Amino acid sequence: MGEETDNRFAEMSSDEGSGTKAERLQLVAARAATCTACDLAATRTQVVFGDGNPEAPLMLVGEAPGMHEDATGKPFVGRAGVLLDACLRENSISRKHIYITNLVRCRPFTTESGAARNRPPTQEEINACRPWLEQTIDIIQPLVILCLGAPAANVLIHKGFKMSQERGQWFEGRYARYVAATWHPAYILRLQGDAYEAARRELVADIAAARQKVIEAKREPKLTLF
Ligand code: URA
């Protein structure tokens, strides 16, 4: 853990302890806006912190912002976001019912023949951004987290997560009472024909299961005495 990371944890305990969740998130987002913990700081337009309802019991965690997210400052506003919103809508869920963020808050890309292409975040970038993710989760305290794609599942469920075998399974986690993973919408967009339709149906079903898990978790007694 680098010095910057240590400071981010230390600052969190001193000034994010009071206020509403929205206020506390705003404070963290303001600090993240000037983060230089990894090289993505040099190439980003802006930090894409997160979007949605800070009081939401359900959090979705994707991988990293792309071009549209970097331009607008909002997660999942490009083609993958359009697909995700459609799958949420089929479950009567909108952004105001959830909180959505990413493993990494700045756009990773490479430049090929003069054109910028999105790339997956490196392990160093994921590690550098992890304190922001952890602070976000700590403030929101979601009952249920749905990871979009294996990279988020590797961090929030367990290392070596196998999407083909473990998709849709529920894990009782360190970060939320229940955590599961589903296909990343960008992965679904790369499929065609029956494979596309099947994966899309599974994403809709996994969102439905997450919604149901929230209802169950709300009925369960709290684990703490106070
Ligand atoms: N893909 C992601 O993982 N996150 C976004 O915000 C957009 C696309």
Q: Is residue 149 part of a domain?
A: yes
- pTM of this prediction? 0.92
74 CA: nearest ligand 1 atom: 6
Q: Is residue 226 part of a domain?
A: no
Q: Is residue 225 part of a domain?
A: no
Q: Does residue 146 contact residue 209 with C-beta atoms inside 8 Å?
A: no
Q: Is residue 224 part of a domain?
A: no
Q: Is residue 72 part of a domain?
A: yes
Q: In this structure, what CATH number is given to the domain that contains residue 60?
A: 3.40.470.10
CA 222 to ligand 1 centroid distance, Å: 32
pLDDT of residue 54: 98
Could you tell me the sign of the dihedral formed by the alpha carbons of 126, 106, 207, 183, in that order?
negative
pLDDT of residue 18: 80
pLDDT of residue 225: 57
pLDDT of residue 223: 62
Q: Is residue 43 part of a domain?
A: yes
Q: Is residue 114 part of a domain?
A: yes
pLDDT in tens, 169-214: 999 989 999 999 999 999 999 999 999 999 999 999 999 999 999 9
Number of folded domains that form the chain: 1
What domain range is 10 assigned to? 2-219
Query: Could you please report the per-residue DSSP string of 148-162?
Result: ESHHHHHHHT-TT--
Q: Is residue 147 part of a domain?
A: yes
Candidates 223, 213, 225; CA nearest to 57 is: 213
pLDDT of residue 222: 72
pLDDT of residue 103: 98
48 CA: nearest ligand 1 atom: 6
Q: Does residue 63 contact residue 151 with C-beta atoms inside 8 Å?
A: yes
Residues of the chain with pLDDT under 50: 1-6, 9-10, 12-15
Kindly list the distances between the CA atom of residue 208 and the CA atoms of 39, 40, 55, 96, 211, in Å, as whole numbers in the listed order.
Answer: 37, 35, 19, 16, 5
Q: Using N-to-C axis directions, what is the helix angle for 3-15 and 21-32, rounded to 10°?
A: 150
Using the CB atoms, write b or e for 115-143: b if 16+ within 10 Å. Answer: eeebeebeeebbbbbbbbbbbbbebbebb
Residues at CB less than 6 angstroms from ligand 1: 62-66, 69, 75-76, 78, 80-81, 102, 186
CA distance 101 to 146: 11
